[in-house]
């Protein structure tokens, strides 16, 4: 789950405060808050993530490590996996690890063909990903 998806999740857990309230208490400008939650690439720097971590009462490291695992980076990974047909591994927010071949994807989900059959995986549930035989390593900066 990207930092933006996670922050949107945390906001929902707090009862859905609007951006004005979050901005007033976290000192993060409203346009940045919107971009963090709505863009697919990482938005904001470590200082911003620290402010939001304080507001949502979570460790800053939790937001910082997620910042590298953006939905945009997942898109690039899925694009490569679908094109080459090689297996991949996905860690879900539930802790479950799935392995298989990604057959298609869109902005919200992807089809994973596993040994047990086909699964539609919601992208916002994916914590980390890798080639099937490699460890989970953050994507390069800027993806």
Residues near 120 by beta carbon (within 8 Å), at least 6 away in sequence: 109, 110, 111, 112
Give the chain's domains with CATH numbers. Answer: 3-67 (1.10.260.40), 71-131 (2.30.30.100)
Decide: pTM greater than 0.75: yes
The answer, yes or no, to whether residue 21 has pLDDT greater than 70, is yes
Q: pLDDT band at residue 143, thresholds of 50, 70 and 90?
A: low
pLDDT of residue 13: 93
Mean pLDDT of the chain: 91
Q: Give percent helix, percent strand, percent coil of the chain, each to the nearest 5.
A: 45, 20, 35
pLDDT of residue 34: 92
% pLDDT > 70, the chain: 98
């Amino acid at each position: 789950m990207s930092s933006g998806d996670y922050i949107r999740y945390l906001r929902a857990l707090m009862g859905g405060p609007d951006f004005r309230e979050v901005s007033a208490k976290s000192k993060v400008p409203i346009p940045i808050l919107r971009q963090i939650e709505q863009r697919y690439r990482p938005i904001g720097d470590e200082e911003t993530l620290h402010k939001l971590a304080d507001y949502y009462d979570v460790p800053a490291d939790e937001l910082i490590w997620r910042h590298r695992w953006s939905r945009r980076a997942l898109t690039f990974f899925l694009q490569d996996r679908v094109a080459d047909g090689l297996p991949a591994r996905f860690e879900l927010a539930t802790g479950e690890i799935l392995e298989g071949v990604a057959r298609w994807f869109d902005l919200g989900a992807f089809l994973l063909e596993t040994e047990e059959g086909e699964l539609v995986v919601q992208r916002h549930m994916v914590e980390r990903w890798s080639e099937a035989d490699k460890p989970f390593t953050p994507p390069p900066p800027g993806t």
